[in-house]
Amino acid sequence: MTIGFTLWFTGLSGAGKTTLAHLVEAELRARDYKVEVLDGDVVRTHLSKGLGFSREDRDTNIRRIGWVCEVLTRNDVVAIAAAISPFRDTRDEVRARIGRFVEVFVDVPLEVAIARDVKGLYRKALAGEIPQFTGISDPYEPPLNPEVIIRSAEEPPEASAARILAALERLGYLQPARQLAAD
Amino acid sequence: MTIGFTLWFTGLSGAGKTTLAHLVEAELRARDYKVEVLDGDVVRTHLSKGLGFSREDRDTNIRRIGWVCEVLTRNDVVAIAAAISPFRDTRDEVRARIGRFVEVFVDVPLEVAIARDVKGLYRKALAGEIPQFTGISDPYEPPLNPEVIIRSAEEPPEASAARILAALERLGYLQPARQLAAD
C-alpha cells in the first residue's frame, strides 16, 4: 500500500499554517503514520541559510522544501510543509514533481493576520523595517484550485484540522479513522 | 522495530562511493527496505546550487545532506550518502546528530583514482583548471574509526558490497538475510 503523500499548507504569515500542521501531525502519528513537518522557518536554517526574500531566493527555498517532501513521499512518509510559498507557479511546479500532493490554502484576511502578529513581523514590515514582506510589500498569489480551503478567522484550529483529515480520507490518502478502529 | 539508519560513504572522487551505494541500495530494496541514495553530485543541484568548494561551502553542503539523512533515518528509511565529505569534524558532527550512523571509508590510492578518472576531473585538476580539488589541491581527512573500510582497488565492487551488508548485519542494523529467507 502506498501511503506517502505531501500535505502543503500555503498562506500569509500568521494565517495559522504551523499550528494546523502540528495538529494534523499529532493525529496522523496517533494513527501510526510516519510524519515529518517541514516548517518554512525551520527549513531555512537547515537548507537555505543565506537565501533572502527575492522572488528567486523564495523559489529556491520552496523547491528545496519540495524536494525533501518528494523524497519523503516516495518513501511512504507523510510530508507536511508549512511555508508561505507565495507564488502559484512554484507551488504548481512542486505539485507536479511530487504527484501525491494536497494543497491547503489557509486563508485569512490581511487585517486579521496583522492584528494577530504572533511574531511581531507585521509591525516591523508596516514600519518599513522588513522589505519584501508577503502581503505588505510583496505579493501573495492564492491557489486557484486547492484541495482544501481553511478560513482560520472563522473556526478554531481543531475544527480546521478535522476538516483537513476528512478531506484526506475522502481523497483516498488516509484510511477512514472509524474503519481502522473497527479492525 | 526501528529500521532507519544512515550509511555514509566517504572517500576521494573516483574511489567508487556511488557504485557501492547503488549496489547496497539494490540489495536492500530486494530485502524490502525503504532506501534513498543521496549522491553528493545530485544533491548539489537540489539543495546547494550556488555553493562552491571552500571549506565553509563544503561543510554547508555536507550538513544539508546530513540533515536530509537525519530526517529519513528517523522515519525508518535507510539513507545512503555518497559524498567526498573530506573533513573529519564535519562527518563526526553529522554522525553525532544522526546517531544511527555507519561510516564506510572507501579507500583508494590517489594514483588509482587519477588513473580511473571516470569524470575527467583529475586531468583538469592536475592541469590547474579546477581549484580546491580534493586530493590534489585540497585536503582529504580519512576517518579514524570507520565502521567499514573498503579498499576499492583490491576487490570487485560486488565483494565490497557484500562485506558492507555483512557489517550492517553484524552491527544489528539489518536482519541477517539467511534468517529472513527462512521465515
Please tell me the predicted confidence (pLDDT) of residue A183. 47
- Please count the structural domains in chain B: 1
Question: Averaged over A90-115, what is the pLDDT?
Answer: 97
Max CA separation in chain A (angstroms)? 57
What confidence tens digit (pLDDT) does each residue in A135-180 have? 999 999 999 999 999 999 999 999 999 999 999 999 999 988 765 5
B78 CB within 8 Å of a chain A CB: no
Please tell me the predicted confidence (pLDDT) of residue B178. 61
| Separation between Cα atoms, residue B136 and residue B113, nearest integer Å | 11
> Within 13 Å of residue B67, how many CA atoms lie on the same side as its CB?
21
- 8 A C-beta contact, residue B74 and residue B31: no
ipTM score of complex: 0.91
Please tell me the predicted confidence (pLDDT) of residue A55. 94
Interchain pair B71, A76: CB under 8 A: no
Cell reading at B58: 563544503
Tell whether B33 is covered by a domain: yes
Interchain pair B34, A60: CB under 8 A: no
Q: How many CB pairs under 8 A join A and B?
A: 35
For B36, the closest of A36, A47, A71 (CB atoms) is A71
- 8 A C-beta contact, residue A5 and residue A101: yes
A43 CB within 8 Å of a chain B CB: no
pLDDT range class, residue A50, cuts 50, 70, 90? confident
Query: How close A177 comes to chain B (CA, Å)?
Result: 22
Q: Which of B85, B137, B152, B160 is catalytic?
A: B85
Q: What CATH number is associated with residue A68?
A: 3.40.50.300
pLDDT values of chain B reduced to their tens digit, one per residue, 183 residues = 669 999 999 999 999 999 999 999 999 999 999 999 999 988 888 998 889 899 999 999 999 999 999 999 999 999 999 999 999 999 999 999 999 999 999 999 999 999 999 899 999 999 999 999 999 999 999 999 999 999 999 999 999 999 999 999 999 999 887 655 444
Cell reading at A89: 507557479
A42 CB within 8 Å of a chain B CB: no
Please tell me the predicted confidence (pLDDT) of residue B158. 98
Edge to edge, the sheet with strand B5-10 lists B35-39, B78-82, B5-10, B101-107, B148-151
- 8 A C-beta contact, residue B97 and residue B1: no
Q: Is A83 exposed, middle or buried (0-12, 13-18, 19+ CB in 10 A)?
A: buried
- Provide the domain limits for residue B155: 5-108+140-175
A77 CB within 8 Å of a chain B CB: yes
What confidence tens digit (pLDDT) does each residue in A113-131 have? 999 998 999 999 999 999 9
| Separation between Cα atoms, residue B38 and residue B82, nearest integer Å | 6
Residue A182 has pLDDT above 50, yes or no: no
Residues of A in contact with B34 (CB under 8 A): 75-76
Question: Averaged over A12-30, what is the pLDDT?
Answer: 97
**Nearest Cα residue to B108 out of B20, B46, B5, B7:** B20
A71 CB within 8 Å of a chain B CB: yes
Tell whether A165 is covered by a domain: yes
Residue A41 has pLDDT above 90, yes or no: no
Tell whether B145 is covered by a domain: yes
Query: How close A71 comes to chain B (CA, Å)?
Result: 8
Q: Which of A85, A137, A152, A160 is catalytic?
A: A85
B29 CB within 8 Å of a chain A CB: no
Query: How close B97 comes to chain A (CA, Å)?
Result: 13
| Separation between Cα atoms, residue B63 and residue B116, nearest integer Å | 29
Stated length of chain B: 183
For B75, the closest of A34, A47, A64 (CB atoms) is A34
Cell reading at A34: 510516519
Tell whether B161 is covered by a domain: yes
Please tell me the predicted confidence (pLDDT) of residue B49. 83
For B34, the closest of A63, A68, A76 (CB atoms) is A76
How much is the pTM? Answer: 0.93
| Separation between Cα atoms, residue A136 and residue A107, nearest integer Å | 16
| Separation between Cα atoms, residue A66 and residue A74, nearest integer Å | 12
Rg (CA), chain B: 16
Active site residue B48: no
Sequence-distant (≥ 6) Cβ neighbours of residue B151 within 8 angstroms: B107, B108
SS3 A147: coil
A63 CB within 8 Å of a chain B CB: yes
> How is B83-120 classified by DSSP, letter by letter?
-----HHHHHHHHHHHSSEEEEEEE--HHHHHHH-TTS
Tell whether B123 is covered by a domain: no
B60 CB within 8 Å of a chain A CB: yes
Question: Averaged over A35-42, what is the pLDDT?
Answer: 93
Residue A48 has pLDDT above 90, yes or no: no
- 8 A C-beta contact, residue A27 and residue A15: no
SS3 A2: coil
- Other CB atoms within a 10 A radius of the CB of residue B169 amount to 15
| Separation between Cα atoms, residue A31 and residue B77, nearest integer Å | 19
Closest-CA residue in chain B for A64? B47
Residues of B in contact with A64 (CB under 8 A): 46-47
Tell whether B171 is covered by a domain: yes
Please tell me the predicted confidence (pLDDT) of residue B182. 47
pLDDT range class, residue A49, cuts 50, 70, 90? confident
Please tell me the predicted confidence (pLDDT) of residue A176. 84
pLDDT range class, residue A14, cuts 50, 70, 90? very high
Residues of A in contact with B62 (CB under 8 A): none
Q: Is A128 exposed, middle or buried (0-12, 13-18, 19+ CB in 10 A)?
A: exposed
Query: How close A47 comes to chain B (CA, Å)?
Result: 6
Please tell me the predicted confidence (pLDDT) of residue A179. 54
| Separation between Cα atoms, residue B30 and residue B22, nearest integer Å | 12
Tell whether B121 is covered by a domain: no
A64 CB within 8 Å of a chain B CB: yes
Tell whether B128 is covered by a domain: no
